[in-house]
Amino acid sequence: MEIKVKGIYRHFKGDYYLVEDIAYHSETGEKMVVYRALYGDNKLWVRPYDMFVEAVIGKSQVHRFELQTIESVKNKH
């Protein structure tokens, strides 16, 4: 699964996040996802890439975070 930078993702528990960028751990080189909460104080978070895309068992969606398709209201009349 490839992460879309600037994409909006839904966490399996229901909240929404904006993926800001992909970063790499300076010591290990591990690939990380930098993402911002789209609620509350809009905290910035970082999580290992593999954990961000991992599957969750018995939940309402397949992956921990799933990309959302958000249509523009501009074209709806």
Q: Classify burial at 59, counting beta carbons within 10 Å of its beta carbon; exposed 0-12, middle 13-18, buried 19 or more.
A: exposed
Amino acid 18: pLDDT: 98
Residue 77 lies in a domain: no
The range of the structural domain enclosing residue 62 comes to: 8-67
Amino acid 75: pLDDT: 73
Residue 17 lies in a domain: yes
Phi/psi of residue 7, nearest 5 degrees? -80, 155
- pLDDT greater at residue 20 or residue 58: 20
Residue 75 lies in a domain: no
Residue 76 lies in a domain: no
How many domains does one find in the chain? 1
CATH at residue 29? 2.30.30.320
Amino acid 77: pLDDT: 60
What is the tens place of the pLDDT at every residue in 44-62?
Answer: 999 999 999 999 887 677 8
Amino acid 15: pLDDT: 96
Residue 41 lies in a domain: yes
Of 2, 12, 8, 4, whose CA–CA distance to 56 is shortest?
12
Q: Is 29 left (phi over 0), alpha (psi -120 to 50) or beta?
A: left
Distance CA(14)–CA(23), nearest Å, equals: 24
